[in-house]
Structure 1
């Protein structure tokens, strides 16, 4: 969970073990594991986390490990089993946590500041946990679509339903009066299709989206109110992502492609067109929406992997890497950067001023020149690179088994990366 983009669940959320603070601590533990905590604090350094950990008799390291291994349900069962807490003990703990008032000058001032900033005039927010929830809400509910695009309609971040996360971004942006050129609700054909499927009005969805900036909490609300089965959701997702222009809209669809990028003759669905439009409108590469270029691509400097590195570097700069890794976090990137004699930070910084592949190639040729023979040897080495010990062979086998167990021909990292890209972004 990325807590730079959303808050953890409310401290009052009882979704893990029925214990106040446990669901919130779970989100922070997972963010801690993924190094996406943002400004949040996890474990012994957090007052609420510490209370929950002491109550459960578990260390923050052990809880983080358990949160990594188990989903919410299994995690709840595990902590209840290991802690041995009774329903009465949990009820007593919850009541004490939910009713605790600020008891230090610092906590009292914090509540006062949050009320002044996010809820002036409110007199019903009085407890420590209400203060935390107000801060979470005020810090994350607003979305500014004049500064960046909404999430792709492919994203299933909310309720596992395509389009809902994008619609939530637009709902929040409209309420914040920062929706830019985007349309929300009844003014958007795609939103109308989604809302009709959900059986939820645009007004009700917007209210829920604004009040619940956490993906899991708004997702729970959506699922509770739509009553759709997983089979129905799967069918809807496939239909939405693959929905293309009909006879009446084909001309408008073609005109829009000509307007934004006439070279993209591969675009044949509305979602693909949206993704392209979003990225070009804001000058970003968003690897939540599409894969980086193939590792075999030699368009830049005649080197394999370099075009892919450019895409990942640009995504890194715009905080849109998605599930990909850049620079020191990627073994393949490290090999390419080492060959060039450039650090990941230097390369990412250069991309901020070099807007085209040609400019990048010119910079590398001038400042980090390589001979044709060196590049040829590098290309051969990289394309043939595969696991060299049992640990990495097992890792590759595990990844192949996860995404395409029938592909027994995959034995290099490049082939595996390309396969993973194809499976990840298959319609």
Structure 2
């Protein structure tokens, strides 16, 4: 979970082991593992986390490892088994934490400031955890679609249903009067299609989206308020690519719109792909939350393996659209290539800003005359065959492959692992 984009679950969320703050700490632990914690604190750095960990007799390191290995359901069981706490002890802990009011002038003033900023008419917010929830909500519920596009229509992070994450961001932007060129609700063909399936009004969904800026909590809200079973949702998702293309008239309208947005690119075959293309084109971004970077095996840029992928990640980094990928010093393969090119990660990002197309980058490489063909060949062979050399690296590769697809016993190199990760991360895009 990326806590620079959304808050963790509410402290009052009891969905994991029935314990106050545990779902929240789970989100923070996962963000900590992924280095997407943002301004939040995890484990020993967080007062609430320390209380929970002490209560459970679990270390923050143990918990961080557990959230990496288990989903919420399995984590629930693991926590109960590890802690041996009784139901009555958990209830007592919950009641105590939920009732604590600010004890110092600093915390009382913090609550007053949050109320004044986010909820001046609310008189019911009095406790520390209510103050935390208000701050989370206030910091994340608004979205400005004049500065960034909504998420891809393919995104299924909310309730497992395509398009809901995108519609939620448009709903929040509409409430904040910051939709820009986007349309929400009955003014949007895709939204009407989604709302009809959900059997929800635009107003009802908007309120749910505004009240729940965390994806998991909005998912719970959606599933609670619709009457759809998993089979119905899966069929709906399978038909996603056919949205707006059922009749000849619909297909003609799509073709005209496609020609307007991207003249001559007939490879874009449906509205969802066109939305993704238009979003990225409109904001001048490479968004790696929408599509993977190019294959590490791609040698179309200067004959250098992994360079096309590095370019995509550098461009995404400059626009804060890297998604779940790592760039530069955070990536071992990137570091290897950057050393070969003789340039730092930040300088490479700056170069990409000056050379916006692949052709520009190739010209830049030619003027730099960086490496000979023999050096490039040797580099390509070395980097392509990079594989674990330590026990820790071998364990990492094995665990990652098992998590992605336990049948893939053929994965031995980091390049093949990257290809598999790309495939699995975006498999919904390819239904």
Global fold match (TM > 0.5): yes
What is residue 329 of structure 1 aligned with on the other side? 330
What is residue 235 of structure 2 aligned with on the other side? 235
| C-alpha contact 1:162 1:241 (8 A) present in aligned 2 | no
Gaps of 5+ in 2: none
Deviates more, 1:10-19 or 1:65-74: 65-74
| C-alpha contact 1:208 1:218 (8 A) present in aligned 2 | yes
What is residue 378 of structure 1 aligned with on the other side? 379
- Separation in structure 1 between the aligned mates of residue 117 and residue 225 of structure 2, nearest angstrom: 32
What is residue 358 of structure 2 aligned with on the other side? 357
- Separation in structure 1 between the aligned mates of residue 348 and residue 270 of structure 2, nearest angstrom: 34
Give per-residue Cα distances to partners, 1:9-36, cap 9 Å, x unaligned: 1111111111111111111111112111
What is residue 203 of structure 2 aligned with on the other side? 203
- Separation in structure 1 between the aligned mates of residue 345 and residue 151 of structure 2, nearest angstrom: 27
Measured on the aligned residues, the alpha-carbon RMSD in Å equals 2.4
Give per-residue Cα distances to partners, 1:243-274, cap 9 Å, x unaligned: 46341122222222222222422110111111
Cα distance, 1:208 vs structure 2: 0.6
Distance of aligned partners of 1:93 and 1:183 in 2 relative to their CA distance in 1, 3 Å threshold = same
- Separation in structure 2 between the aligned mates of residue 396 and residue 81 of structure 1, nearest angstrom: 28
- Separation in structure 2 between the aligned mates of residue 211 and residue 26 of structure 1, nearest angstrom: 20
Deviates more, 1:205-214 or 1:368-377: 368-377
SS of residue matched to 2:66: helix
Cα distance, 1:419 vs structure 2: 5.2
Give per-residue Cα distances to partners, 1:138-157, cap 9 Å, x unaligned: 00000111101000011111
| C-alpha contact 2:388 2:413 (8 A) present in aligned 1 | no
| C-alpha contact 1:243 1:270 (8 A) present in aligned 2 | yes
- Separation in structure 1 between the aligned mates of residue 153 and residue 411 of structure 2, nearest angstrom: 31
| C-alpha contact 2:388 2:397 (8 A) present in aligned 1 | no
Give per-residue Cα distances to partners, 1:357-402, cap 9 Å, x unaligned: 233233334446222333343344445x253658567766766666
Gaps of 5+ in 1: none
1:137-148 to 2 correspondence within 5 Å? 137-148=137-148
What is residue 315 of structure 1 aligned with on the other side? 316
Give per-residue Cα distances to partners, 1:81-110, cap 9 Å, x unaligned: 332222222222211211111110110010
Cα distance, 1:314 vs structure 2: 0.8
What is residue 92 of structure 1 aligned with on the other side? 92
What is residue 76 of structure 1 aligned with on the other side? 76
Distance of aligned partners of 1:85 and 1:378 in 2 relative to their CA distance in 1, 3 Å threshold = closer
- Separation in structure 2 between the aligned mates of residue 89 and residue 69 of structure 1, nearest angstrom: 27
- Separation in structure 2 between the aligned mates of residue 161 and residue 80 of structure 1, nearest angstrom: 31
- Separation in structure 1 between the aligned mates of residue 398 and residue 43 of structure 2, nearest angstrom: 35
Deviates more, 1:24-33 or 1:214-223: 24-33
| C-alpha contact 2:315 2:349 (8 A) present in aligned 1 | yes
1:24-39 to 2 correspondence within 5 Å? 24-39=24-39
Cα distance, 1:209 vs structure 2: 0.4
Cα distance, 1:284 vs structure 2: 0.4
What is residue 221 of structure 1 aligned with on the other side? 221
SS of residue matched to 1:271: helix
Distance of aligned partners of 1:255 and 1:45 in 2 relative to their CA distance in 1, 3 Å threshold = same
- Separation in structure 2 between the aligned mates of residue 288 and residue 378 of structure 1, nearest angstrom: 29
Distance of aligned partners of 1:293 and 1:98 in 2 relative to their CA distance in 1, 3 Å threshold = same
Cα distance, 1:413 vs structure 2: 4.8
What is residue 306 of structure 2 aligned with on the other side? 305
1:233-272 to 2 correspondence within 5 Å? 233-243=233-243, 245=245, 246-272=247-273
Distance of aligned partners of 1:348 and 1:394 in 2 relative to their CA distance in 1, 3 Å threshold = same
Deviates more, 1:214-223 or 1:298-307: 298-307
What is residue 426 of structure 1 aligned with on the other side? 430
Residue correspondences, number: 426
| C-alpha contact 1:153 1:241 (8 A) present in aligned 2 | no
What is residue 294 of structure 2 aligned with on the other side? 293
Cα distance, 1:321 vs structure 2: 2.0
| C-alpha contact 1:242 1:271 (8 A) present in aligned 2 | no
What is residue 107 of structure 1 aligned with on the other side? 107
Give per-residue Cα distances to partners, 1:306-348, cap 9 Å, x unaligned: 1221111111222222233222233332222121111212111
| C-alpha contact 1:275 1:289 (8 A) present in aligned 2 | yes
1:145-156 to 2 correspondence within 5 Å? 145-156=145-156
